[in-house]
Structure 1
Amino acid sequence: MEFIIQTLYWISSGLLIPTIVLLLLFLAQGLMVIGGFYGAYANRMAFEKSVKPALHELSKDNANDVLNQEKIRRTGLVNVYLEKLLANRDNTIKAEKVLADFEMACEQDLGKVKTLAKIGPMLGLMGTLIPMGPALVGLASGDMASLAQNMQVAFATTVVGLLIGAIGFFCNQIKTRWYASDLTDLEYVYAVVKN
């Protein structure tokens, strides 16, 4: 029994460094997600100013004039698929494929932030619990330096893990609303312009 307990302790202790490395990698990815989110927000505001008002004037006859190339910029995900949708409006199967591809692209983009929201806190919890064993051993033996160092690692990994989770959760919530609105707009445009 002692061997099994010691083996579990070695395994958990051996996971501390990989956990910290993964936390740092996910933190870097979270910072890149924030940068991409800012870019998506800027594209969203441009779309809201240029394309959204044009949708109220949209009809089958004036679609090319209302949604001209100046208004449809290849900067945002919805703009790319709006252009593809207009190019395939005469072919129902291809147009529906464009809509399905847009949904898949949205899910793929949301998958990244959902991963951050789920994995970040898990890694933070692992980084908290792993050093608690050596910290308790240090407390029992009176080694306050070891206790302090392990508690510092435990609290730091918790904070970083929660920060990663918060970035993922925040971006997921907002992007989900954006993509639902974009899908509705694409379906509306297709319903208006299809032959």
Structure 2
Amino acid sequence: MSLEGPLFGIMYTFSAALLYPVVIVLMLSVLASLILIGEFLSEYAKRHRDIRKLEDDCKELGKTVKNLEFPEAAKALREIRQNFMVTSFSRDAAPFIEQRYFSAIEKLAAEYEIGMSKQLEKTKILATISPMLGLMGTLIPLGPALIGLSQGDIATLANNLMIAFATTVVGLFAGSVGYVLTQVRRRWYWEDLSDIDYILNVLEENFKVVSGNSTGNGNWQINEQVLFRVADEKMKDEMKAEMMEETNEKKQTLPADRAPGGPGRSEPVDGSC
């Protein structure tokens, strides 16, 4: 007894049974591609990248960190307005900079990178799976179509060929959408990661300037010499301001008909003496 007949029959039955699941998944792929197009357009409308403004914001951020003004540094981070990912990262990193917890900021940047990879996975899967499903939807109806052709059943042949061509077109459409969105978003996220790395580099450089050694929990201990230097500079500025105020007060208290004496200038003599 030959096993070819039952074996091929099982394979044909199995492949024919996959037709409806393939068609359903293809329709879901088309629906997902339309949703992703909407998300893409929404994300595109929110994108705003200004390199010069980012450089100015980072200069201000570095200056505040170097002067040990960590609340002001957190405020500078919150005021960064770039693309959504960069703005969101800056806002989430602000509390950590107030705590001088640089390791947490690095971890936050890694989490954002993982989130970007997850966003790309959706369109990558769509771009890869949809053409495969379209090919399956093309090949499965060809069996019944050939059987109908051999029996002279033109209606069966036409119906199965219509299903085959339709699934091909639908699969290629969903795959094309996924491919285009993947390529464009990949470039967007490279830009966002570049901006986030730039912010991290600015923070790291200025933390190293004002920091001593790092403790085990990642908090940076400020060098005492730096503290004394900053305090001394502030004290000098305050003393200069006080001296200027005293000089202005003395000038205002002098009589209007008297001028302060100085080198090479004699005091006015009262004519009554």
Considering the TM-score relative to the shorter chain, is it more than 0.5?
Answer: yes
Match of residue 86, structure 2, among 78, 82, 102:
78
1:37 and 2:37 are equivalent in the alignment: no
Deviations along 1:78-121, whole A, 9 cap, x unmatched?
32122223433432210110111011001110010001000100
Structure 1 unaligned regions, length at least 5? none
Does the C-alpha gap of structure 1 residues 64 and 54 become closer, same or farther in structure 2, counting only changes over 3 Å?
Answer: farther
- Which of structures 1 and 2 has the larger relative contact order (alpha carbons within 8 angstroms, sep 6+)? 1
Deviations along 1:171-192, whole A, 9 cap, x unmatched?
0001111111111100101211
2:265 aligns to what?
none
Map 1:138-157 → 2, pairs under 5 A:
138-157=148-167
1:193 positional shift: 2.9
1:56 aligns to what?
55
Map 1:1-195 → 2, pairs under 5 A:
1-44=4-47, 47-49=48-50, 52-57=51-56, 58-59=58-59, 60-61=62-63, 68-69=78-79, 71-72=80-81, 76-89=84-97, 90-194=100-204, 195=207
- More helix as a share of residues: 1
Task: Indicate conservation of the 8 Å contact 2:124/2:178, yes or no.
Answer: yes
Structure 2 unaligned regions, length at least 5? 65-72, 208-273
Identity %: 38
How many residues are aligned here?
Answer: 189
Indicate the SS of the match to 1:142.
coil
Task: Indicate conservation of the 8 Å contact 2:120/2:182, yes or no.
Answer: yes
Deviations along 1:57-76, whole A, 9 cap, x unmatched?
1211266666554x538x82
Alpha-carbon separation, structure 2, partners of 1:65 and 1:55: 14
Cα root mean square deviation, aligned: 1.8
Q: Which has the larger radius of gyration?
A: 2
Alpha-carbon separation, structure 2, partners of 1:152 and 1:54: 56
